[in-house]
Structure 1
Amino acid sequence: MATILRKIAEQVLSRTTFSNLAMDRARDAAVDTIGCMIAGRGDESIAALTRAFHGEIAGSGEARLVTGGSASPSLAALINATAAHALDFDDNFHPARAHASAVLVPALLAVLASGKVTSGRRFLEAYLAGLEAQAAVGFGVNPSHYNRGWHATATVGGIGAAAGVARLLGADENGLAAAMSLATSFACGPKGQFGTTAKPLHAGIAARNAVDAARMALAGMSGRPDILERPQGFLDLFGGDDAKGWEGLTFEEEHIIESRGVVTKRHPCCASTHRAIDALLDLKQERGLLAGDIARIVAKVGISAARNLAYPDPTDEMQARFSMQYCLATAFLRGSLSLSDFTRQEIGRPEIRQFMPRIEMQSYSAEEEKGVERLPHIVTVTTRDGRIYRKSRLHAKGSLEAPMSDYERKVKFMDCLHWANRRNSEASFQRLCALADFETLSCDNAFWSLISDGLKG
């Protein structure tokens, strides 16, 4: 009987044709991630990594860095993926419970090292392979794994991304399964780190692990092909109390990006806040609510979301991204959230601090969540004159069910460049959107020059 990793490897290598829809969504995810990488390049987490590895960053490394210069593929994956996730503006992928693209895109870019050339289409096919592998790994352990406290971006994300990198590097079925097996040995990342710079580092570590595991596998290193399901394997150690395993795992003709999609973020903060933010903004618009009208706001969310949002009184911008109180107060008062709302100066604004005590977060009970994959987040607003308004959101803006328009995607990309104090080049955005048409893709050619355009003042 085939092991789970071999089953995944066989699937992602046998899928050789992709629909135009799948390719378009992969392209959108890649471009969105590149925007987030550029925006995140000035974050303190990246400054710390640059200081830590100063001696290994040069102008003659194999792989390009979003900060400028170059480094080894391993270090480039670490730094670029940390930048992609630094501002928590990168996408989510529900089947893996992971920030899928922040791991996958930088990992794939890192192996476009000097002398290695691929096409834009093959790059996107490798992305889709890694995404499908992430979904398959997540199938057996989530949501129990995530609810137990594991940051699946660092665990499931890294294992699945190893499959994408291995495919891009030309691995066969044995090599691809070995890459995922080795990446399983690297997996770690507790959600207790949320609200610190270690959180975006998890994406960097996962991307580095994917690159290292794939390169090791192609060099002959191997691990057990049954490491996901065997005793003392991934399910046993990481699954949590309610993980179901992979017995029911099947692969549809339709790719997972077609049936489930990735969720492009509308707001630059923890996704656990997004549905509540959207619901509150809906109520504000529908009811014409003003700040002076509000007596109380209650946001009811899932248990894991409540645990993620551990900062009711944030003291810095990273904590603010994981504060329901700050995010709802700022969104209501300003009508939206942008990258500029998450600075040391902004989080101390008196009007925000005075509004935050009116906001309360509650969670569903374990009994309410039992056996249900996904429950809506519910916002209840009580006005000073006693009116009560309620709004629920099952899907956030940016999801397959509530997609962002092409214009909204472009505006977000430009906002990322503006935040990084870089040139707002709509032409570069449009050319990146033609990624699938690039006949040659490497760290030395016109593709990286488009990314570099976003690095020029």
Structure 2
Amino acid sequence: MTSTFAPLTSAFAQAIISSDPSKDPVALDAARTAIIDFLGCAIAGAGDRTTGILADTVGANLPGEAILLGSSRRTDPLVAALVNGHAGHVLDYDDVHASVRGHPTTVIIPALLAFAAEREFSADALIASYIVGLEAMARLGLSLGSKHYENGFHATATLGTIGATAAIAHLTRASIDETAVALGLAATQSSGLRLQFGTDANPFHAGMAARSGLLSARMAAAGFGGAPDFLDNPVGFHSVYAFGAERPSAVTENWGSPWQIVTPGLTLKAYPCCTASHPVASLGIGLNREGLEADAIEYITFTYPPGADAALVVSKPGNGIEARFSPEYVFAAALIDGALRLDHFDERPVLPRLMDLARRAGRRHDETAPRMSSDPRTRFVIVDIVLRNGSAIQRRFDGLPGLSDPAEKFRDATARNPAFADVPSLVRTMSSTADLRQLLALLNQDAAQNPE
């Protein structure tokens, strides 16, 4: 029943708790694929320097039964959600969703896995709740419009908190009133600024959102109160975060028809760097295969539609982490090396041989093109190359490249460690509570042990 006091918040809560994506085999298959992709990224990220710092700082030695991915340690569920969310995003290799303009799985799945330490539920329930959490995150993203991201918010964090809360509320069959309060508690913790891109704090946003989402759901379930009208209040979510570009009805419009995990669907990253740099990466690799040599290039110009390079905040990176957000460096690495690897984007200083070409690249915007939005058709990049012999090359990429099957990516990310070899096949078939317990046991192993 929808409340007349807060009709939009209540309708959003009702959609969350009453959804049943289990009847959509396409959505279920997409969810299993995304979970495999995420787990590979998180296991690889478990060994990152910053994951270790975060775990030690927030108290991973606290008692609890929640697993740390790629580690034999167990800890408090809130700590696990934070650390695992960070680990999943720390390499910038995890999936992205156009409606979110961010990374949903690295927020929602850590919250659900952490909650499994407190309550038994089936693998089927986890998958369904993940789909619903992503739906809530994506529909809310559509309702905000483009200014939220462009004005500096990191949607992985601001929307992820609410997506994770929605997933837990669906899982627990919370009431409409409880869900509305939980969503409000999540909304009041929505934070994260894009100015942190290229720093240790960027992946922290994902962990922060996972923890806050789990905390909000737990607090509401325990009777902790809060505003039940975060979408309806005059000083509510859209008023604060949309900057006048909101379309509130999009929150529930066409809910689950189709599911957002199906259309537009997730983009599984083929390269371990910012998604917005992937089109130039693919063009660079293609030109490498055509035999183009860096020494033959005088200058490179990247042309984007307005707003399309908002995430690409670095033009002159100093290290590999900053380089993830530099299309100039990404293109140079792709063209010269013919591939992009995790070691292109680690903490070491950028390579002079790649920076030499990156310094010869610049950007412009096609102001006649539609501003980039959640519609994939508005995303493109044109690469114009002037050669030293006076000739020119032009290439264009529309949309985003991505993977359909993350199996090889999972093997590479986990260093082909036999301890994790059975994870993808188990995720593909898991259904019961026992299956989920088995998955948790497999993931609760030290990634540093027994690599191939």
TM-score, normalized by the shorter chain, greater than 0.5:
yes
2:156 is paired with a residue of what secondary structure?
coil
Q: Is the 8 A contact 1:162 1:211 kept in 2?
A: yes
Match of 1:281 among 280, 285, 294: 285
The gaps in structure 2 that reach 5 residues or longer are none
3-state DSSP of counterpart to 1:183: helix
Task: Provide the residue aligned with 1:440 in structure 2.
Answer: 434
Find the counterpart in structure 2 of residue 78 from structure 1.
82
Selected match of 2:383 from 366, 379, 396: 379
Shift of 1:323: 1.5
C-alpha contact (below 8 Å) 2:142/2:374 kept by paired residues: no
Instruction: Identify the match of residue 204 of structure 1 among 188, 195, 207.
Output: 207
Give the Cα separation in 1 of the matches to 2:369 and 2:394: 22
Moved more, 76-85 or 426-435: 426-435
Name the counterpart of 1:412: 409
Instruction: Mark the CA change 1:247 to 1:304 in structure 2 (over 3 Å): closer, same or farther.
Output: closer
Mapped partners of 1:163, 1:175: distance in 2: 11
Name which of structure 1's ranges 299-308 and 377-386 shifts more when overlaid on structure 2: 299-308
| Secondary structure, counterpart of 1:28 in structure 2 | helix
Q: Secondary structure at the match of 1:260?
A: helix
Matched, 1:125 2:120: no
Q: Which moved more, 1:244-253 or 1:356-365?
A: 244-253
| 1:50 CA displacement | 2.2
**Counterpart code for 1:431:** L
Following superposition, the deviation at residue 283 of structure 1 comes to 4.0
Q: What is the correspondence of 1:109-148 to structure 2 with a 5 Å cutoff?
A: 109-114=113-118, 116-148=119-151
The match for 1:65 is: 68
Q: Which runs of 5+ in 1 are unaligned?
A: 399-403
1:129–1:372 Cα change, 3 Å: closer
Deviations 1:321-341 (A, max 9, x none): 111221111111111111121
Aligned-pair CA distance for 1:249: 4.6
| Alignment partner of 1:49 is 2:49 | no
- 8 A contact 1:422–1:454 mirrored in 2: no
Bigger Cα displacement from structure 2, 43-52 vs 446-455: 446-455
What's 1:451 paired with?
Answer: 443
Offset of residue 257 of structure 1: 1.4
The answer on whether the counterparts of 1:103 and 1:157 sit within 8 Å (CA) in structure 2 is yes
Q: Displacement, 1:292?
A: 2.9
Taking the aligned partners of 2:252 and 2:190, their CA distance within structure 1 comes to 21
Cα-to-partner distance string for 1:239-295 (whole Å, 9 max, x where unaligned): 12433333685125321212211110111111121122223333444x432223322
Q: Answer with 123-132 or 40-49: which moved more.
A: 40-49
Q: Does the CA-based 8 Å contact 1:191-1:308 persist in structure 2? A: yes
Instruction: Give me the whole-angstrom Cα distance separating, in 2, the residues matched to 1:248 and 1:209.
Output: 21
Choose which of 234, 239, 242 in structure 2 pairs with 1:236. 239
The letter of the residue matching 1:428 is V
The two structures, once aligned, show a CA RMSD in angstroms of: 2.3
Q: How far does residue 38 in structure 1 lie from its aligned partner after superposition?
A: 0.6
> 2:270 and 2:374 mapped to 1: Cα distance?
25
How much does 1:301 deviate?
2.6
Aligned ranges 1:221-232 → 2 under 5 Å: 221-232=224-235
CA contact (8 A) 1:303 1:363 kept: yes
**Do the aligned partners of 1:4 and 1:225 also contact (CA within 8 Å) in 2?**
no
Shift of 1:187: 0.6
> Which deviates the most, 182-191 or 226-235?
226-235
Alignment partners' CA distance in 1, 2:55 and 2:425: 30
Task: Tell me the secondary structure at the aligned position of residue 433 of structure 1.
Answer: helix
Using the TM superposition, give the Cα deviation of residue 318 of structure 1 relative to its aligned residue in structure 2, in angstroms. 1.7
> Structure 2 vs 1, CA of residues 216 and 3 (structure 1 numbering), >3 Å: closer, same or farther?
same
Aligned to 1:164: 167
The amino acid of 1:317's aligned partner reads G
Q: What is the letter of the counterpart of residue 413 of structure 2?
A: C
Report how far residue 303 of structure 1 moved: 4.5
Comparing 261-270 with 225-234, greater Cα deviation is found at 225-234
Q: Is the 8 A contact 1:423 1:454 kept in 2?
A: no
Q: Which amino acid aligns with 2:438?
A: A
Matching residue of 2:216 = 213
Q: Does 1:394 align with 2:391?
A: no
Q: Which position in structure 2 is the counterpart of 1:11?
A: 15
- TM-score, L = length of structure 1: 0.89
Deviation at 1:85, TM superposition (A): 0.5
1:263 aligns with 2:267: yes
CA distance in 1, matches of 2:188, 2:374: 30
Partner of 1:21: 26
Measure, in 2, the Cα distance between the counterparts of 1:172 and 1:117: 19
Partner of 2:39: 34
- Please name the residue that 2:98 is paired with: 94
Structure 1 residues 440 and 171, CA, compared in 2 at 3 Å: closer, same or farther? farther
Change beyond 3 A, Cα 1:126–1:375 = same
Distance 1:424 1:118 in 2: 24
How far residue 206 of structure 1 moved from its aligned partner, in angstroms, is: 0.4
What letter corresponds to residue 283 of structure 2 in structure 1?
Answer: A
Q: Distance in 2 between matches of 1:221 and 1:20?
A: 37
Whether the 8 Å contact between 1:126 and 1:167 is mirrored in structure 2 is yes
Q: Pick closer, same or farther for the CA change 1:356–1:247 going to 2, 3 Å.
A: closer
Deviation at 1:51, TM superposition (A): 2.6
Structure 2 CA distance for partners of 1:138 and 1:290, relative to 1, 3 Å? same
Give the secondary structure class of the aligned counterpart of 1:11: helix
1:277 alignment partner, SS class: helix
Following TM superposition, by how much is the alpha carbon of 1:5 offset from its aligned partner in structure 2, in angstroms? 2.4
Secondary structure of 1:440 counterpart: helix
Cα distance in 2, alignment partners of residues 219 and 51 from structure 1: 28
2:7 alignment partner AA: T
CA, structure 1 residues 328+370, in 2 after alignment: closer, same or farther (shift >3 Å)?
closer
Contact 1:379 1:391 in 2 (8 A): yes
Distance 2:17 2:236 in 1: 24
Give the Cα separation in 2 of the matches to 1:225 and 1:294: 59
